[in-house]
Structure 1
């Protein structure tokens, strides 16, 4: 599992001291800030999880509504020169920095500079008690474009609905979902991916993609291509040629891009299709869906081709795999219903 830290106010201090322990934790793990809770509840509860990804720290946070202020005095006390990228997952955020006020909700990324004063206000909806978000912290010097773009990028809404912003938002949430499957040695590689995606998003925002390092452009293009493929696995016409055409590159260049993936483009497409079909075969809700229909849904036009490819990867035909998976599911339901 990736290395990191976990803070839960309910476990860190008695109820009367939880808010103070939360403030001290943020001072040590983030930067010194003034915390102004909307409602200083006696039973204050907050969580802060951090994963170490090399130079990047991936964080996830949940807490009651509050305001957070970083003043010039606090900056003089400690200035690690960090960039703070956040993605609201529940609730909304209002930020004032660099003479700009902006509101953020779901599908909007916010970039702040901890070397500049700011006021951040996190709010919930009517039926919500806490706000929740995720994001990354990284040294400003690893993103020269951010320093160069400065005022144009800080506290500016960055869309997470499309392009590099959508890829970055999906990356932030997916690493949390898959964190148990990673080893500590995977951290720096994942941090590099985060930096590349953020660099591509900022370059697009500034219309300065040509200023990115060639390797950063290459990696971000590979990630965009992989996302393109994932969204079209059901299309039987999805081939290396159609992928290359959609991205205005040659087929030979597409193959060169995938050399570092240690798998051909066609094999990468086939493997992702098999993974989706495998998931559906193991789903008890789909047990009455014919196997050939599942295969066709995920882009396998011929049932024989699907069976051969499935057996080569999973060591058994799809019918046997489904039978075994459904038996396990049925047994689990039976055990759960037993008195």
Structure 2
């Protein structure tokens, strides 16, 4: 699994918890000042995932006022961008005479070089924090850090893509190796770069490699949301993204499979999960196949056997036998 550290405020004496939490945030982002209505017994939890130069830290904490002051900036500036995906709770941020209100499914953005203040609501906040060096995020020509938006909705577009990636990443780190961390950090940096460029209406100014990787991620998300559609073909995928089919194939040149093979694998894997789902045991195999874009049962059986060396019916029966109670 990925390298990670875990903090729970209960591990620290009650009187020291707020100060220690401020120190934790200072390590993951930059030194800050904190006050809270719960200073006598502050409650917080945090996991920090190591992605090389990038770190991701899901956290839950009680009401806070957090300040990054000019004095603290002069003392120490790690030159970082910070993004928080708000999952629960609310907050209000202010900087440079501006203000933004944050609600669940918003991305809050600030950087360590600009004074700011965040005031959370009365309810505990749950968020996924993200720290990455500014050097990893090339801004479009003519843009600077102060022009980066401080609030981006995470329900659509690249914001949704980044939110989905972060949510999936923190949900289960057991399937990754520590050596995957820097590679995942590179994906995060590309998504943040694409997010900023889009928000600044300058996607065409992205470095070619970053633009290519961000486009590939958008295409994969598009495909995964439409696996049920039997008309989902490379040609239709390319048309939906306003690119040629040949360019779509070039995007997949460095992947483990061609675009058509990748689509088929995603469909087969989704069908395989349904076949072993006890809640779907009464659903016929051909219905499972149709649900994942295989309108012809014979085609599904042939593709499934090629992929897994067993027929769908045999696979389902074997899985059912493995989970049956034994005397």
2:57 to 56, 59, 67: 59
Q: Which residue of 2 aligns with 1:256?
A: 250
Per the alignment, in what secondary structure is the counterpart of residue 260 of structure 1? Answer: coil
Per the alignment, in what secondary structure is the counterpart of residue 61 of structure 1? Answer: strand
1:237 to 228, 231, 241: 231
Q: Which residue of 1 aligns with 2:119?
A: 121
Q: Which is helix-richer, 1 or 2?
A: 1
Structure 2 stretches lacking a partner, 5+ long: none
C-alpha contact (below 8 Å) 1:113/1:154 kept by paired residues: no
283-292 vs 25-34, which moves further: 25-34
2:146 to 143, 151, 158: 151
C-alpha contact (below 8 Å) 1:92/1:104 kept by paired residues: yes
Q: Tell me the distance in 2 between the aligned counterparts of 1:2 and 1:95.
A: 32
Q: Tell me the distance in 1 between the aligned counterparts of 2:23 and 2:246.
A: 55
Q: State the shift of 1:262 in Å.
A: 2.2
C-alpha contact (below 8 Å) 1:67/1:119 kept by paired residues: yes
1:297 to 291, 301, 309: 291
Q: Which residue of 1 aligns with 2:217?
A: 223
Q: Which residue of 1 aligns with 2:87?
A: 89
Q: Which residue of 2 aligns with 1:104?
A: 102
C-alpha contact (below 8 Å) 1:135/1:172 kept by paired residues: no
Q: State the shift of 1:321 in Å.
A: 1.7
Q: Which residue of 2 aligns with 1:180?
A: 174
Q: What's the TM-score once normalised by structure 2's chain length?
A: 0.94
Q: What's the TM-score once normalised by structure 1's chain length?
A: 0.91
C-alpha contact (below 8 Å) 1:168/1:197 kept by paired residues: yes
CA root-mean-square deviation? 1.8
Q: Which residue of 2 aligns with 1:39?
A: 38
1:283 to 272, 277, 284: 277
- Structure 1 stretches of 4+ moved >6 Å: none
Q: Which residue of 2 aligns with 1:70?
A: 68
Structure 1 stretches lacking a partner, 5+ long: none
Deviations 1:32-86 (A, max 9, x none): 11111122243x3211111121221111111111111111111122111111011
Q: State the shift of 1:200 in Å.
A: 1.1
Equivalent pairs counted in the alignment come to 326
Q: State the shift of 1:154 in Å.
A: 4.2
- 1:192 and 2:186 matched: yes
